[in-house]
Structure 1
Amino acid sequence: MEKLLMLVHRIPYPPNKGDKIRSYHMLRHLAQHYSVVLGTFVDDPDDWRYAPVVREMCADAYFGALHPWPARLRCLGALCGDEPLSLAWYRDARMDQWVRAAMARERINRIVVFSSAMAQYARPYAGTRQVIDFCDVDSDKWRQYASARPWPASWLYAREARRLLAYEREVARRADSALFVSRPEAHLFRSLAPESADKTAYFNIGVDSAYFSPARAYPDPYPQGAEAIVFCGAMDYWPNVDAARWFALEVMPQVKRARPAAVFYVVGARPSAEVRRLEKPGAVCVTGTVADVRPYVAHARLSVAPLRIARGVQTKVLEAMAMAKTVVLSPQALGGIEATPGKELLLANGAGEFAAQVLRTLARPDPRIGRAARLGVRRRYAWSTSLDRVVEQIEGGRRAHAH
């Protein structure tokens, strides 16, 4: 098989952890078509245990340790210049040396870049065919942060939004194909980078509907009698922190008055101090890291995604839908998801609407919503169909869902 260099900002494993889902399935799919040479960072010490499994999928692999304090120092230095802080965070001399050695040693003429910050390592190789999966328009995420946070954070985030957009446009101009996670993300980037509109496309994220299946038997993690409302996600990620805090403080008091047995479960790794402070016996429970999120989703009365800031497609929503669970979500969390509100999920805008939808579901659950949700996910979000389109991009074929 022909060699392909894949550059990923975080180790692409395991398949059920947040932003690693897309890169993991991409690696596994590409390894069926190419001899993959992988360069990736490990930013969580716990993830080193996955390195041997990932290495088995590759012809060669380099795992670089990414330590937060040196990365923060690099970002401080970048403030004096014009580059985005995201680029400085992932700058690493050892990664650069490894890429240069691999390109000199191997006959590689195809490069797949996962996330814009890794494109700096592919820049010297203009003669290769390069496909970048931006996933989301990250610069717009920073713009949203800037509008939601006080000064001086607002200034810093606005700076990052401007600098990162300029860098994203430069990367897209150099690439042969620029991919995003959904039609709305691709449409947004075309409006921001019209010079690269003809090479901007998207492919849907996938869901392993056999893994996230309601037919499996899961142990019940909840106390007897609790009407569990679950929200899953990495709880050191600010949009998730903001969502958990808003729901716990603005929505749950309304729900508790009508349904005393209702309990809000915040399920996810690395909960911040803000999230930990939300804990209230009998009302809000913060689990921290769990071995498997599926039991928490399977035995919950419903799942919520109350995000007020969001970019791309919310995988946690699709996974809950795949498990035939009723999901109540905000318009922001719905962005990019192909589903019909009222039939496959429930939409709520504001604390009053959220409380009303949650209370209706607790009082009169409608199993038809969960069944329709799972059917829709299985029909629209199959990994094999989506990732075949990535191979087409790598080989210079027709654009993936270009319009």
Structure 2
Amino acid sequence: MRILWVLPYLPWPTTSGGKTRQYHLLRSLAARGHRITLLVQSKSSLDTPIQTALEPFLERLIVLPRRSLRHPVTLLSALFGPWPLLTVVNGLSAPLQARFSQLLEETWDVIQIEHSYSFQPFDRLLRGQSFVLTEHNLESSLGAATYDRFPGWLTFFVRFDQWRARRWENQVFDHASRVIAVTEDDAVAMRQLTQTPVDVVVNGVDTREFAAVQRDAASQRILFVGNYEYAPNKDAVQWALDEILPLLWRRCPQARFAIAGYALPQDWAELWPDSRIEWVGFVPQLTELQARSAVFFAPLRHGGGSKLKVLEALAAGLPLVSTAQGVSGLPLVDKQEYCAGETPEELAAALAQLLEDPHYARQLAVKGRDYVRDHHDWQIAAAQLEHVYQQLPVKDSSACV
């Protein structure tokens, strides 16, 4: 198939779950013989490493710059426009609209738009056209995950923006030929908003890459990975350091907490100066860090979808301690495939149990790795996406789409 794939960010480097998903799905589809043109609006510029990573499996890579967050168009539209805040930030781009219009003069088997919040420039152009929309989260339902940095006096704006987001989601979902969710739970919620068929394409893992990882049970190292431009990851670390790790250290004083990922706040090391905290930051090769860890910890309280960091940890054979939010969308069984907890006391006790009982930790690790291999390899996700494409309306061969 000839696919036009549209993204509001560059999928390399894979510094977030969304970017990781995009990179591996694009690569997997290209390996299956599909020809892909990737149209990107990005706040970061296209450089040689990005080109080297992406261009080998793309027919074309087209990157347009995104305007500044403080641009008058963004500020005024955010306050007075009919679109939600994220849509304003990623939309209202005449250059992007013009380039997309040019591309529509060509013939496409599939047009795939990622995120409803990126859809505004294409709204008018795709009226009556067949396209697939992937929605990683229901943005209108994220609540604190989206608006946690807003002061209390902006409560009215937050409620207004949530209303705009739900209205926009309804509109975009209804225009699409198929909507794709990443979990069945999200799909159920989306089906309540639209008559458009909603399919599931799971988040995945390159299971072969992680299969060789052997964790270091004696390290006492607890690992967390996240993109700290995303508020739920910041909240998870802050909650862990303020309330959970102090309880664990009373029972396991040698335990270490390694905090890895992109955009690690520089002031955290000063706020939490304990030497048992390892400020790792972004690492290009996650398997090396996983191999030096004993447990993966996902103390997430906000967010949506399924968490790639959790799937990658399970694929690497790391036993998992997590809240319900950390394993959202994953039918994992507590005490068989991971350890569950919701309070600081429960989570600290679960971490201590895995550090103190290597046999139990190994059992969980084996079960977790088996689950990911059987249900979340990227080849499984790519096959699910191809199945969605096969459900699209058959086009007149003489028509340009």
TM-score between both structures, scaled by the size of structure 1: 0.88
Following superposition, the deviation at residue 241 of structure 1 comes to: 0.6
**Counterpart AA for 2:338:** L
> Residue 63 of structure 1 aligns to which amino acid in structure 2?
V
**1:144–1:245: structure 2 CA closer, same or farther, 3 Å change rule?**
closer
Aligned pairs (5 A) from 1:352-391: 352-365=345-358, 366=360, 367-391=362-386
Alpha-carbon distance change, 162 to 350 in structure 1, aligned in 2, over 3 angstroms:
same
Distance 1:49 1:358, change over 3 A: same
Aligned to 1:56: 56
Q: What is the aligned residue count?
A: 388
Which residues in structure 2 correspond to 1:75-224 (within 5 Å)?
Answer: 75-91=75-91, 92-104=93-105, 106-108=106-108, 110-123=110-123, 124-142=125-143, 145=146, 150-191=151-192, 193=193, 195-196=194-195, 199-213=197-211, 215-216=212-213
* Aligned-pair CA distance for 1:7: 0.4
Question: Which amino acid is 1:279 matched to?
Answer: W
C-alpha spacing 1:276/1:66, structure 2 compared with 1 (3 Å): farther
**Structure 1 residue runs without a partner (length 5+):** 399-403
- Deviations, residues 229-263 of structure 1 (Å, cap 9, x unaligned): 11101123211111100000101111112222112
The correspondence for 1:306, drawn from 299, 310, 318, is: 299
Identity of aligned residues (%): 22
Output aligned runs, 1:228-239, within 5 Å: 228-239=221-232
Query: For structure 1, which segment, 320-329 or 143-152, has the greater mean C-alpha deviation from structure 2 after superposition?
Result: 143-152
Give, in angstroms, the shift of residue 273 of structure 1. 5.1
Instruction: Go from structure 1 to structure 2 and tell me whether the alpha carbon gap of 1:149 and 1:359 turns closer, same or farther (over 3 Å shift).
Output: farther
- The Cα shift of 1:16 comes to 6.9
Bigger RCO of structures 1 and 2 (CA < 8 A, at least 6 apart): 2
C-alpha contact (below 8 Å) 1:321/1:370 kept by paired residues: yes
Partner of 1:329: 322
| Cα distance in structure 2, aligned partners of 1:48 and 1:93 | 26
The 2-side partners of 1:364 and 1:248 are apart by 23
Q: Given the alignment of the two structures, is residue 392 of structure 1 paired with residue 387 of structure 2, yes or no?
A: yes
3-state SS of the aligned residue for 1:108?
A: coil
Q: Which deviates the most, 178-187 or 152-161?
A: 152-161
Matched, 1:5 2:4: yes
Structure 2 SS opposite 1:240 = helix
Deviation for aligned residue 1:116: 1.1
Gaps of 5+ in 2: 394-401
8 Å CA contact 2:24–2:378 kept in 1: the answer is yes
Asked if the contact 2:177/2:392 (under 8 Å) is kept, the reply is no
Q: Give 4+ residue runs of structure 1 displaced > 6 Å after superposition.
A: none
Query: Does the 8 Å CA contact 1:71/1:90 hold for their aligned counterparts?
Result: no
User: For residues 199-278 of structure 1, what are the structure 2 equivalents within 5 Å?
Assistant: 199-213=197-211, 215-216=212-213, 227-272=220-265, 275-278=268-271
Take 1:352 and 1:180, find their aligned partners in 2: how far apart are those partners?
A: 33
How much does 1:364 deviate? 1.2
Q: Which moved more, 1:37-46 or 1:126-135?
A: 37-46
Per the alignment, do residues 216 and 373 of structure 1 end up closer, same or farther by CA in structure 2, a change over 3 Å counting?
Answer: closer
Given that residues 135 and 181 in structure 1 are in contact (C-alpha distance below 8 angstroms), is that contact kept between their aligned partners in structure 2? yes
| Structure 1 residues 275 and 180: CA distance shift in structure 2, 3 A | farther
Say whether residues 1:296 and 2:289 are aligned partners: yes
- Structure 2 counterpart of 1:84, one-letter code: P
Rounded to whole Å, the distance in 2 between the matches of 1:177 and 1:135 is 14
Aligned residue for 2:332, secondary structure, equals coil
Structure 1: distance between partners of 2:47 and 2:116: 22
Q: TM-score, normalised by structure 2?
A: 0.88
CA contact 1:142–1:160 (8 Å) conserved in 2:
no
On the 8 A contact 1:129/1:394 being kept in 2, the answer is no
Change (3 A) 1:360 1:40: same
